Amino acid sequence: MHQKEKPYVAENFLTFSPRVHYRDPGLIFLEVSTTAPLFGGEKALFHEATKLAQEFFPEAQGAIADSPSVAQLLCEERPSYISKPNEDLKELENIPLHRLKDLEGLIAWRSTREVEHMVNFFSTLGLHKIGQLKQFEIDSLRERWNETGSLVWKRLHGLDRQVISPLTPTESLEEYVYMDFAVSHAPFLLHCLENSLNQIMKRLQGRREFAQKVILQLFCEYSHSCHLIEMSPRSPSRSLELYMKLLEKKVLEISLENPIKEYKIEVLSGPEKIQQMDFFQPQQQESEKLDQAASLFHQAQLSTGYLCPKDEVFPENSWELLDEFEEFLEAEDVIEVSGQSLRLTPSYSHRIQQAPRPSRLLKKPKRLSSDEVHRLHFLSTHPVERIEGSWWEHSRGRDYFFVMTTQGQFTWVYYDRIEGEYFLHGYFD
């Protein structure tokens, strides 16, 4: 970002990775190898992270590499460059020698003057590329430049392992702004407040927290006056639009005849509502994501909906697909007490609800040939479950078994006692 900032600026980037590190002057390092797939790849994540950085720091730039030191160097030499995996050392080959001072990463050079002296020394020898320094042994560099020489050799050979630790936010959610000139124009004051509040909301997003209360203190230029504004929405949120609407109404009620010279914003936060929204970018409400998913399935000629249990005996008929969610009422025994008498009405389907069922159930059971049956491994000689139809109907009694196939699949197979054949009915995960 090319400017010294407060360490808490790194919290803005917790949205992209829990492993974030800040180092002066304005350098932020993220470990994105495990989180990049959630954003659609390194390129998409890099675009979003750069967009966020430039929202507050227009001159911000970045790069992606396997190590923090090479990423910092590429950021200066080739902004917006994404190095291929395991090619950090190859990338250094043709980098100009004067960029050696940028080969730092999480740990800065002990003395930049030593590095500049090293660059001048090798330049007089006719070396102008960083890759040309690999021909020197570590003892030679250490003898002349001590610890700095050893560190240069390690970074050139990829042996200076730098691990980015998870960032635990500890700084308070505050913004204090002292303005160069006093402000008595409400729209301009709101603009300044929006910029400050936006930075705090980005930090809240990184922390995965909501703002429960916002406290604003406006300090006047004369007589040490102070306007106190407190905002507590009905439900915690980090919606900048919501808080700006509340703030605008409050500010317009204040007389600015005594102009504002400085202000302080403090946010009291709380945990956000737990919603699985991380894996979809841009983040959307659950209903919107569900509608989009249903549209995609419909386009692929797939049926979608909610599976609701039906009062049927055979498993393939015991479910129906509904467009709207309906709460499922579990079957329970009914106990009625009247005076000294007790009446129990058992629920015969209760045990069926608790019976193990495969995660994939075939809509129409598949008939198995005798050869296929011989290749199956039955886990028990007796059936684990017997299902029969109603007594007044022509019963198709089924004996169900847990069976393992030759491929190691755990399946659900039944023996039809009327047809005398075996059928494959489902698969367990």
State the pLDDT at residue 294. Answer: 63
| Domains assigned to the chain | 7-156 (no CATH), 174-271 (3.30.1490.100), 306-350 (no CATH), 356-428 (no CATH)
pLDDT tens per residue across span 255-270: 999 999 999 999 999 8
Q: Are 149 and 160 in contact (CB under 8 A)?
A: no
Q: Ramachandran region of residue 141, left (φ > 0), alpha (ψ -120 to 50) or beta?
A: alpha
> For 290-322, how does the pLDDT look when each residue is reduced to its tens digit (9 = 90+)?
655 665 565 456 777 777 777 677 888 777 777
The pLDDT, as a whole number, for residue 299 is 47
- Mean pLDDT of all residues in the chain? 84
Residue 395's pLDDT is 59
Token readout for 261 is 């010279």
Query: How distant, in Å, are the alpha carbons of 174, 307, 396 from that of 203?
Result: 10, 40, 63
pLDDT band at 117 (very low <50, low <70, confident <90, very high): very high
Q: Each residue of 120-160: pLDDT tens digit?
A: 999 999 999 999 999 999 999 999 998 999 999 999 998 98
The DSSP secondary structure of 330-375, one letter per residue, reads: PP--EEEEETTEEEEE--TTHHHHHS---SEEEEEEEE--HHHHHT
pLDDT average, residue stretch 198-203? 91
* Whole-structure pTM value: 0.57
pLDDT at 283 > cutoff 60: no
Cα separation of 156 and 238, whole Å?
44
